[in-house]
Amino acid sequence: MSKGNTKQGGKGKAMKYQIIASLNIDGTVQRKDVIGAIMGQTEGLLGDELELRKLQRTARVGHVDVEMTANKGKVSGTILIPSSMDNVETAIIASALETIDRVGPCKAIIKVKEILDVRKTKRTAVVDRAKELLLSLVATGEAASKTLTEEVRSVLTTQKLGFFHGLTCGPNIESSDSLIIMEGRNDVSNVINFGIKNAIACDGAGNMKQELIDLANSKGTVIAAIDGDRGGEMLLRELCGMMKVDFVAQAPVGQEWELLPQKTVTKCLSMKEVASKVIARLEKTDGDDTPSKTPESTDAIEVPENVTELAEHLEELKANHAVFIYVDGSKSEPMGPRSLAKEAEEADGAVAIVLNGPVSKRTLEIASEAAIQTVLGTEAGKEYGKIADVESWLTVDF
């Protein structure tokens, strides 16, 4: 009996189709009466090969499910029959249901509403879910293949770019608690490919929309992402004068956000500075009549806030031990100098190395090879010197 029930439930074979039929009965009957009528009144109708009871025993037809509701002495509902047969045989079984005109003593009408292709439905679900997973993968910056990212880039941009009172933006600018304000449409179009969905273009200086001002003032955090040129600095001054701006993320000198690769975009955003400090620095530069600073200047080095935060991890480290800091703020387990190179190769998503000890040329090379943007140590080590793609800081200097 147990074996027969398993087959009847359709577990032995993958079901291809689902017959869905409506049921209307003049009178009150039970579910078992409906199933009995289906089995009894189709028996012998379609020949021995398509007899429902035998089809269930061989798992070619699954369990007959009947959903019913009674109201004022009448019953209505739905009949569901899964089938692993081909489409022709399934259609014959479905049409046989419509020959049933009574359930017990009551008049009944059964109409087949549709035959659902289960495989097509599953394929659609697989495709839809695959799209969600792919978008999520690209959005978190964890796509293993740059070729894959490039392949879907145009689709992602088309799907996600929107408009807010005529301003180009990402889909999350209203729902997100933070907002990134950029200069133009191409800037937003570029960063949205890297999963940044809360950016909006202000369309340059000189004509700020009141809707953008109100939006910025309603956010918990506002970041101004400006180009690395004089125009970017001019735009920042206007933004700070008209709306709330908490932080500033500036592109490298002479570069624009619309052309930055993902690695540089992530680095610039992670190195954002407090807006008031940036404005103060610009004002100081504007008021400085001397052409250059002398090497003997004794002014203290201004340390970005993100570097100050990194320095807090030094207190927890033993001498000459290091940790990786990841883009989400989490950190790795401490490691000694011998393990640093090997661990760096596997430290996906690391943005900084914090070392309680001297920073050598080799330390910076390890960071560069692993695409880690920042290194913080306590002092200069062997052959220490700045290298192009790694920002290095020494606590002895500040």
pLDDT for 290: 42
Say if 2-120 and 140-284 have the same CATH topology: no
Whether the Cβ atoms of residue 68 and residue 103 lie closer than 8 Å to each other: no
Higher pLDDT, 135 or 18: 18
Q: Which of these ranges, 10-19, 170-179, 220-229, has the smallest mean pLDDT?
A: 10-19
pLDDT for 130: 82
- Across the chain, mean pLDDT equals 82
Q: Treating both helix axes as pointing N-terminal to C-terminal, what angle do 275-286 and 230-242 enclose, rounded to 10 degrees?
A: 120
Sheet holding 65-71, edge to edge: 65-71, 74-83, 17-26, 106-117, 102-103
Highest mean pLDDT among 98-102, 278-282, 327-331: 98-102
User: 305-397 sits in which CATH class?
Assistant: alpha beta
State the average pLDDT over residues 91-113.
91
- Model confidence band, residue 296 (pLDDT cutoffs 50, 70, 90): very low
For residues 80 and 88, give the distance between their C-alpha atoms in angstroms, rounded to a whole number. 18
DSSP codes of every residue in 16-76: -EEEEEEEEEES---HHHHHHHHHHHHTTTS-GGG-HHHHHHTTSB---EEEEEEETTEEE
pLDDT tens for 313-322 read 998 899 999 9
For residues 362 and 353, give the distance between their C-alpha atoms in angstroms, rounded to a whole number. 13
pLDDT for 281: 85
Residue of 193, 184, 189 whose CA lies nearest to 226: 184
For residues 224 and 247, give the distance between their C-alpha atoms in angstroms, rounded to a whole number. 6
Element (H, E) at 107: strand 106-117
Q: Can you give the residue ranges of every domain in the chain?
A: 2-120, 140-284, 305-397
Burial classification of residue 341, based on how many CB atoms lie within 10 Å of its CB (0-12 exposed, 13-18 middle, 19 or more buried):
middle
Q: Which of these ranges, 6-10, 133-137, 165-169, 365-369, has the smallest mean pLDDT?
A: 6-10
pLDDT for 348: 80
pLDDT for 153: 52
State the average pLDDT over residues 73-98.
91
Q: What is the pTM of this model?
A: 0.39
According to DSSP H, which parts of the chain are helical? 2-8, 31-42, 52-57, 87-97, 118-139, 146-160, 185-192, 210-217, 230-242, 262-270, 275-286, 305-311, 340-345, 361-369
Token pair 């012998």 is found at: 44
CATH number of this structure's domain 2-120, picked from the four choices 2.130.10.10, 3.40.50.300, 3.30.70.60, 3.30.9.100: 3.30.70.60
- Whether 156 has a pLDDT exceeding 60, the answer reads no
Whether the Cβ atoms of residue 272 and residue 151 lie closer than 8 Å to each other: no
For the domain spanning 140-284, the CATH number is 3.40.1360.10
pLDDT for 108: 92
